[in-house]
């Protein structure tokens, strides 16, 4: 079992940067077995995958954020971060950390992930 705690959201102007963090609390699972991801959601829309890192370290990014966002995973501390640069108003939403131990299924599908953080708000506006 994993408990995820995500943080780091806030308000920023277009072109600004934010860094999100997620820590996984577990007493039994090694970090090398955990794949992790960031999703985001705006009211009225489905949760969408932003970035995901598998157990091999391979990272996937959504097309909309590639080149602007960078995800990194620390297996020793079972943590995940998301450095978001050149933020745009369309990046506004609630960002959720996700994790899974089977690491199967399409990473962009929220149903592929078992454990979820509580969400942190990102607001990009001038």
Summarised one tens digit per residue, pLDDT across range 15-47 is 999 999 999 987 688 888 899 999 999 989 999
Report how far apart, in Å, the C-alpha atoms of 11 and of each of 16, 64, 70, 88, 121 are.
9, 20, 19, 11, 8
Task: Report, as ranges of residue numbers, the positions in the chain whose pLDDT lies below 50.
Answer: none
Strand 79-84 relative to strand 18-25: parallel, antiparallel, unpaired?
antiparallel
**Phi, psi angle pair for 25, to nearest 5°:** -105, 120
Angle at 23 between CA 19 and CA 95, to 5 degrees: 50
């Amino acid at each position: 079992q994993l408990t995820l705690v995500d943080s780091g959201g806030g308000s920023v102007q277009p072109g600004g940067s934010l860094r999100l963090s997620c820590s996984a609390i577990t007493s039994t699972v090694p970090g090398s077995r955990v794949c992790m991801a960031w999703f985001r959601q705006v009211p009225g829309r489905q949760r969408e995958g932003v970035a995901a890192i598998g157990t091999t370290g391979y990272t996937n990014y959504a097309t909309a954020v590639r080149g602007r966002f960078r995800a990194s995973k620390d297996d020793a501390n079972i943590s995940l971060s998301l450095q978001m640069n050149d933020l745009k108003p369309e990046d506004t939403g609630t960002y959720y950390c996700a994790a899974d131990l089977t690491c199967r299924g399409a990473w962009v599908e929220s149903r592929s992930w078992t454990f979820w953080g509580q969400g942190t708000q990102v607001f990009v506006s001038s």
